[in-house]
Amino acid sequence: MTGEQIVFLVVAFVTLFAGLMVVTTRNLVHAALWLVAALFGVAVTYVILHANFLAVVQVVVYIGAIAILFIFAVMLTRRDMRDQGPQMNKNWWFGAVLAVLTFGGLYFLLQGWEGMTKTATSYPVGFDAISELGNALVSPAGYVLPFEVASVLLVAALVGAVYVAFNPRNGNSGK
Amino acid sequence: MNPWIFVGLFFVVGLLIPVGAIGIAWLLGPKKPNPIKQSVYECGIETVGESWVQFKAQYYIFALVFLVFDVETVFLFPWAVKLGALGLFAVIEGIIFILILVAGLVYTWRKGMLEWA
Amino acid sequence: MNLTSQDYQVLAPYILLTAWACVLLLVDLFIPKERKSVTALLAALGLAVTLGVTLSQVGIEQVGFFNMAALDGFSTFVNALLLVSGILGIALAHGYVKRMGIERGEYYTLLLFSVSGMMLMAQATDLIIVFIALELLSIPLYVLAAFARPQLSSEEAGMKYFLLGAFATGFVVYGTALVFGATGTTSLAGIVAAAASPSTSTLLLTIGAALVLVGFGFKVAAVPFHMWTPDVYQGAPTAVTAFMASGAKIAGFAALLRVFATAFPALAVDMTAVLWALAALTMIVGNVIAISQTDIKRMLAYSSIAHAGYILMAFVPYGNPAVRDVSIAAGLFYLVAYAFTNFGAWGVVIALEKKEEKGLAIADYAGLGRKHPLLAAAMTVFMLSLVGLPPTLGLVGKVYLFRAVIAGGFTGLAIIGVLTSLISAYYYLRVVVTMYMKEGEPETVRETWLSLTTALTAIVTVVFSLLPQSLFEWASTAVLKLF
């Protein structure tokens, strides 16, 4: 077993455990912090896959912004709004069966796929992944169109999110 | 993978130092608990009411706006790295990208969402 | 390697509309609150100008942005229909949002963003574009569904639509990832080429395509992915529902048709059976559950599920080149028929709806025939069209559709279609019976744009059914650019 495999196993286990804690812990703040741990585990997985930029994006966007958004959303609640009900509903066994079946199906499916047994190859010397990405994003033969549409999408989402999050009782709707 | 080992090492060391410090204190220190000692440490005036209160929705809106522009930087970063080599076309593209998002910023600003009122 | 004017021409309508939406977003900030009609007018103007550009592109066929988007007869036809839907949506919304106290400039901006996403989706020839266009059309719709906040039912609708819609988008992304894993490309042309090579894993490709189908099944409200539809259609502001029911369906079906017909013809053997079952199930479940509804919005929601089933019938023979073009044409024709009828029917619902969700029970339509004969006549036309009775567009659409399906060799499915149409007659005609046979004092609102829209759609529904040939011929020229 190489060092990389050991790191991967440790990280994968921590990620899964953190993910499990996110959905089982009753304290919302703890759930958000476990989520940060799970997202961080994914970032490390990206590193193992040599996807350095994605790893940084994972930290900057998911931990730096989305997890913070979650925590702020938790801050909008009060202690007396805590959910006291049972954490499982009566269909839990159905969900469990479905999850196991999906996992088995995916495993079976991906087992036959050549990409499953490949390991990430190292970049050639002097290869600059971020430059390549920049090139792909804006060169006409690359992803110019998704790049520009993404900004339109961000604006549409911003307008929508601001409209939904905005509290009509605050009274600054006049503008 | 190599350069990332240092990042990993940094985390391990960063974890070990506080764990070590607290662990040693726990091992070596005498334990004589009393109720006052075990109460939650409060700095300054004693708290009144619940510690878990509802915050202003404004926090959330700020985080939301931040998220959108955070994603923007993710897209712009590779573009900026490659800017020198890409030529005029790419520059214009990036500017269009930014301009579209500026429209969103103007919208939020003008709506008064960026005010702490 | 640079973009030429050809590339821009391919996406000219989309670029124009997006730019218009961005500018409108800013202009709206300086329009005072009591004059938001100006925003509505500007938005409708933007759609009309874009419609002009789109119509000027009839007959042009080319790809642009290095195979990312295509301009062909199909996209032009669908874009024109989407733009008309947008205009009708604004015409219905204009008075409604005012009356319901939710008149905000964002309504029209978000609607424009949504339409632009739909148009992009109809032109997308790369799965990445399909995904991003899907997001661009969906996100504004989630917000529009919750537009009447803090009214609870609207918030619930927005939340449900958002959660299930995000879930559905996840299916599309996962499917795209599997397709990418199998073929190494997201371009539809590349997928066709890769599918032909023996080293490609057909299993992976099939599962990927199936997941994409599931995602779009959610979007177009096909059974068994329809659960969200009644609640969302009922809770959302009626004007939004009207737009959502046609726009999202048209765009979803357009993308589904393009992706499956261009990229996955090799999978037709497996997919045809799945599509067959989906179509049959959707028609049966939608029509049967609609019978027991007492709320007109819920009834029309189930009716829209049922119609998704009819339109899905046009997909079943997609892998058979002999009937593919005629069945696509029949599907498009049916979408036109459905869009106009749908807008008209929702227009009548809006005319009777009062604040706090009053006036939405089917029983509230009692006496409409005596008190407002014109409105009742219009509603009768729409109900007949939804059943598929003469003299309406709905009948012609069904005839073309069943003919295409039978030509494709799926007589059983056509029989299911006819039988479920018979079932549907029960609950559609119940509305007509209530309007004419029962006593009541329904109150309606009179708004110029609303009346105009209802009248226009009623006239279109009747007149085009008398001369459907020209429309069907246009639909027949709307063939996909294949690779």
For residue B89, the one-letter residue type is F
Q: Please report the number of interchain residue pairs, chain A to chain B, with beta-carbon separation below 8 angstroms.
A: 150
- Residues contacting C71, CB < 8 A, separation 6+: C9, C10, C11, C57, C60, C61, C62, C63, C64, C123
Of all residues in chain B, the one with the smallest CA distance to A28 is: B52
Q: Does A115 touch chain C (CB under 8 A)?
A: yes
- The answer to whether C104 and A163 have CB atoms below 8 angstroms apart is yes
Calpha distance B12→B68 (Å, rounded): 32
Which DSSP symbol is given to A25? -
DSSP letter, residue C225: S
B109 at A interface, C-beta within 8 A: no
Query: Would the pLDDT of C348 be above 90?
Result: yes
DSSP A136-167: HHHSTTTTHHHHHHHHHHHHHHHHHHHHHHS-
Mean pLDDT of chain C: 91
Q: Are the CB atoms for B102 and A146 separated by under 8 Å?
A: no
From C368, C478, C388, C346, select the one nearest C431 (Cα to Cα).
C368
Q: Inform me whether the C-beta atom of residue A138 falls under 8 Å from chain C C-beta atoms.
A: no
Cβ-defined contact of C149 to A155 (cutoff 8 Å)? no
| C482/A contact by beta carbon, under 8 A | no
| Chain B CB within 8 Å of residue C22 CB | yes
CA–CA distance, C427 with A107 (Å, rounded to integer): 47
- Beta-carbon separation of C106 and A145 below 8 A: no
Residue whose entry in the numeric block shows the structure tokens 């002999």:
C322
pLDDT tens per residue across all 117 residues of chain B: 567 888 889 989 999 999 999 999 999 988 888 888 887 777 777 777 777 777 777 888 888 889 999 999 999 999 988 888 878 888 898 999 999 999 999 999 988 888 876
Residues in B closer than 8 angstroms to C8, CB to CB, are none
Q: What is the pLDDT of residue B101?
A: 92
Q: Residue B111 and residue A175: Cβ atoms within 8 Å? A: yes
State the smallest CA–CA distance between residue B1 and chain C in angstroms.
24
Within 13 A of A87's CA, how many CA atoms are on the CB side?
8
What ranges do the domains of chain C cover? 5-477
**pLDDT > 90? residue C23:** yes
- Cα nearest neighbour of B106 on chain C: C26
- Asked if residues C310 and C417 have their Cβ atoms less than 8 Å apart, the reply is yes
* Nearest one of C448, C466, C426 to C292, comparing CA atoms: C426
**Domain A1-80, CATH among 1.10.3720.10, 1.10.540.10, 1.20.120.1200, 2.40.30.10:** 1.20.120.1200
Cis status, amide bond into C391, omega within 30 of 0: yes
Determine the distance from the C-alpha atom of residue C184 to the mean position of all C-alpha atoms in its chain, rounded to a whole number.
31
**Cis peptide before C150, with omega less than 30 degrees from 0?**
yes
Inter-chain contact C104–A163, Cβ cutoff 8 Å? yes
Mark yes or no for CB contact C1/A143 under 8 Å.
no
Q: What is the DSSP letter of A90?
A: T
Q: pLDDT tens digits for A110-156?
A: 887 777 777 767 778 778 888 888 888 888 888 889 999 999 999 99
Chain A residues touching C207 at Cβ < 8 A: 109
CA dist., res. B105 & res. A151, Å (int) = 12
Token pair for C181: 């894993």
Domain ranges of chain A: 1-80, 131-175
Torsion over CA of A31, A33, A38 and A39, rounded to 10 degrees?
120
Rounded to the nearest 10 degrees, the angle between the axes of helix C73-99 and helix C37-56 is: 170
What is the average per-residue pLDDT within C346-371? Answer: 89
What is residue C62's three-state secondary structure? strand
Q: Is residue A60 over pLDDT 70?
A: yes
What pLDDT, on the 0 to 100 scale, is given for residue A39?
95
Answer yes or no: do B103 and C29 touch at CB < 8 A. Answer: no
- Structure tokens, C333: 């024709």
Interior angle at CA C257, CA C482 and CA C347, nearest 5: 135
CATH superfamily of B2-110: NADH:ubiquinone/plastoquinone oxidoreductase, chain 3 (1.20.58.1610)
Geometric angle at alpha carbon C272, from C271 and C275, rounded to 5°: 85
Amino acid in position B23: G
Distance in angstroms (rounded) separating the CA atoms of residues C184 and C433: 58
CB–CB contact A150 B110 (8 Å): no
C-alpha torsion sign, points C250, C258, C279, C141: negative
Q: Per DSSP, what are the bridge partners of residue B28?
A: none
Report the C-alpha gap between A44 and C259 in whole angstroms: 35
Question: Helix, strand or coil for residue A169?
Answer: helix
Window 20-39 of B, Cβ < 8 Å to A: none
Separation between Cα atoms, residue C117 and residue C452, nearest integer Å: 27
Average pLDDT over residues C159-184: 93
* Interchain CB distance below 8 Å, C66 and A115: no
Tell me the CA end-to-end span of chain A in Å, nearest whole number. Answer: 63
Confidence of residue A175 (pLDDT cuts 50, 70, 90): very low
CA–CA separation, C85 and C114 (whole Å): 11
Determine the average pLDDT of the residues in C177-199: 89
Task: Compare CB distances from C150 to A146, A160, A168 and report the shortest one's residue.
Answer: A168
- Residue A174 scores a pLDDT above 50: no
Cα separation, A28 vs C110, in Å, equals 33
pLDDT of A168 above 70: no
Please determine, for residue C280, whether its predicted confidence score (pLDDT) is greater than 80: yes
